[in-house]
Amino acid sequence: MTHQRKGEGRTVLITGASAGIGMALSHVFARRGYAIILVARRKDRLDALKAQLEAVHGVRAFSLPADLAKIEAPDEIMEALHAFGLPIDALVNNAGYNLRGATPDNPWAAKRDMLQAMAIAPYALTHLLLPAMRERKFGRILNVASVVGLLPGGGANTLYSGVKAMQVAFSEALHIDERKHGIHVTALCPGLTYSEFHDVDGSRAQMQKLPKFLWHTSESVAEAGYAALDRNAMICVPGLFYRTGIAAARMLPRRLANRIAARIARGAR
Ligand SMILES: NC(=O)c1ccc[n+]([C@@H]2O[C@H](COP(=O)([O-])OP(=O)(O)OC[C@H]3O[C@@H](n4cnc5c(N)ncnc54)[C@H](OP(=O)(O)O)[C@@H]3O)[C@@H](O)[C@H]2O)c1
């Protein structure tokens, strides 16, 4: 007797699938039988991953290169999906990166691109894909935020903390609104995770000095996120250390928490 996998007949679109947590999530969904649509800028990586997912998990996979910092990207993705002819059952808004520094430290164009890729594009994709999910009374939306989004601002990485806080609040509101439509929404809030993230933002040498127990693998974060989405948890913080730390930080008076966050941020600069 053949065993029916949970995601068989379903399709997930994953942004930022060419590396790190997004790549790990594509394996997690594919293992459950989902067809996978892979979005990121590096086409060669997506093509290689598509071949790997098809060979290892026996699912259909599609490479859909896009730069989410481009204002037209969400509409172009919708057009491409139409051509694939696959309805989207699950959306993973994962693509992201950090621009280190205080507000004027980077050119405005770089900040604008970051807002477009990490705030506007995920919101647009959600907005565009939700109606069909509601119609079919089934949907799964996983927004990859960060523990940073659950903590008060501490200076440094100003825009990153703001965008992550927005992703958390947006996910919470969406979770409440969409429950009655059979749509699960989860904000995945990882702490430090091994991926290309700290190479991209140039902090690898500094971050490597931090103790090993603070680090998770992309694979373990992806598994935790999938499980949380499956049971419709509103927020998922992988790892006991981070869960306890967040709970404690949220009980502190805001100004004291800001001061502690500022000290940690100064140490990470
Ligand atoms: N690593 C951590 O410690 C950590 C902790 C908490 C939260 N997170 C969050 O986890 C998510 C995934 O990050 P990661 O750690 O897996 O980093 P990563 O290994 O650097 O992967 C980032 C992914 O985002 C894609 N991406 C970046 N800019 C893009 C754009 N303009 N358009 C399309 N795709 C874009 C990259 O692909 P291309 O370069 O090919 O476009 C890549 O696939 C991010 O939202 C990040 O904020 C990470």
CA distance 73 to 232: 28
Ligand 1 probe mutation, 37, 67, 195, most atoms within 8 A of CB: 195
Q: Predicted confidence band at 257 (pLDDT cuts at 50, 70, 90)?
A: confident
pTM confidence score: 0.97
pLDDT at 267 over 80: no
* Annotation marks residue 97 as catalytic: no
Separation of 97 CA from ligand 1 center, angstroms? 5
Atom of ligand 1 nearest to the CA of 21: 16
Ligand 1 probe mutation, 97, 118, 144, most atoms within 8 A of CB: 97
DSSP assignment letter at 68? T
CA distance 228 to 12: 16
Instruction: Quote the pLDDT of residue 88.
Output: 98
Ligand 1 probe mutation, 21, 38, 72, most atoms within 8 A of CB: 21
Token pair, residue 194, equals 């091994």
CA distance 66 to 1: 40
Instruction: Quote the pLDDT of residue 262.
Output: 82
Q: Predicted confidence band at 25 (pLDDT cuts at 50, 70, 90)?
A: very high
Please give the single-letter amino acid code of residue 125. Answer: L
Atom of ligand 1 nearest to the CA of 147: 6
For 36, other C-beta atoms within 10 Å of its C-beta total 27
Contact 211, 191 (CB under 8 A): no
100 versus 109: the higher-pLDDT residue is 109
Sequence spans of domains, the chain = 11-268
Question: pLDDT digit string (tens) for 57-91?
Answer: 999 999 999 999 999 999 999 999 999 998 999 99
* Integer CA distances (angstroms), 198 to 74, 93, 142, 165, 202, in order: 26, 19, 22, 20, 6
Q: Which residues pair with 62 in a beta bridge?
A: 37
Please give the single-letter amino acid code of residue 7. Answer: G
| Residues 63, 117, 223: CA angle, nearest 5 degrees | 60
Biggest alpha carbon distance in the chain?
Answer: 62
CA distance 21 to 110: 23
Contact 50, 26 (CB under 8 A): no
23-32, 183-192, 245-254: the lowest-pLDDT one? 245-254
Separation of 94 CA from ligand 1 center, angstroms? 6
Separation of 13 CA from ligand 1 center, angstroms? 15
For 48, other C-beta atoms within 10 Å of its C-beta total 13
**Which residues, 6 or more positions from 170, have their beta carbon under 8 angstroms from its beta carbon?**
123, 143
CA distance 127 to 122: 9
Separation of 1 CA from ligand 1 center, angstroms? 40
Pairing of strands 90-93, 11-15: parallel
Separation of 255 CA from ligand 1 center, angstroms? 30
Token pair, residue 5, equals 């996998």
Residue % of the chain over a pLDDT of 70: 98
Average pLDDT, the chain: 94
- What CATH superfamily classification does 11-268 receive? NAD(P)-binding Rossmann-like Domain (3.40.50.720)
- Choosing from 160, 194, 226, 242, the catalytic residue is 160
Ligand 1, CB cutoff 6 Å, lining residues? 15-22, 40-42, 45, 67-69, 94-97, 117, 144, 146, 190, 192-193, 195-197, 200, 218
